[in-house]
Amino acid sequence: MVQSELQGWQVKMHDMARELTAQLDTKISLLQVLLHDAQQQADRLEQALARAQDTLSDDRRAPAASATNQAAGLSLAGPHVTPRSARSSQRPYAEIFALSDAGHSSRSISERLSTPIGEVDLILGLRRELQPPAGK
């Protein structure tokens, strides 16, 4: 009687171990897919940043064309956006963080600093991603 109960428990434990292993394998596979997707997104972001830096470098090399466009009222960035070359590279981040910490919305920060709202959202989003969780 004890022998058959022991064998029954062994079978149950073996089944449970197999079930848990399958669940872990599924979660590991899903995590690998998510990591791959995250890496692709990071690569795309790096490429976009490199293209933006190249565009910025091109803008700095061709001030006459930029002046001509401004004189003609042409602007790719919109009516209230100051080109990045006219701003300090680190100053806007500190200002964006300070205004956000003071409770200003992304739109308000964008208007105050003449920075595209998408850039403000990106900077604040990256800040949230890079901050360690509270209490650690």
pLDDT of 68-119, one tens digit each?
Answer: 445 444 444 444 444 444 444 556 788 888 999 999 999 999 899 888 988 8
- C-alpha span between 56 and 74 (Å, rounded): 17
- C-alpha span between 72 and 81 (Å, rounded): 16
What's the DSSP call for residue 90?
S
Tokens linked to 36: 């791959």
- The confidence score (pLDDT) of residue 54 equals 82
Give Rg (Cα) of the chain: 27
Long-range CB contact pairs, 2-7, < 8 A, 24+: none
Axis-axis angle for helices 117-130, 91-101 (nearest 10): 80
62 falls in which pLDDT band (50, 70, 90)? low
> Considering the entire predicted model, what is its pTM?
0.37
In a 3-state reduction of DSSP, which class is residue 40? helix
pLDDT of 23-42, one tens digit each?
Answer: 988 888 888 888 888 899 98
Tokens linked to 63: 């001030």
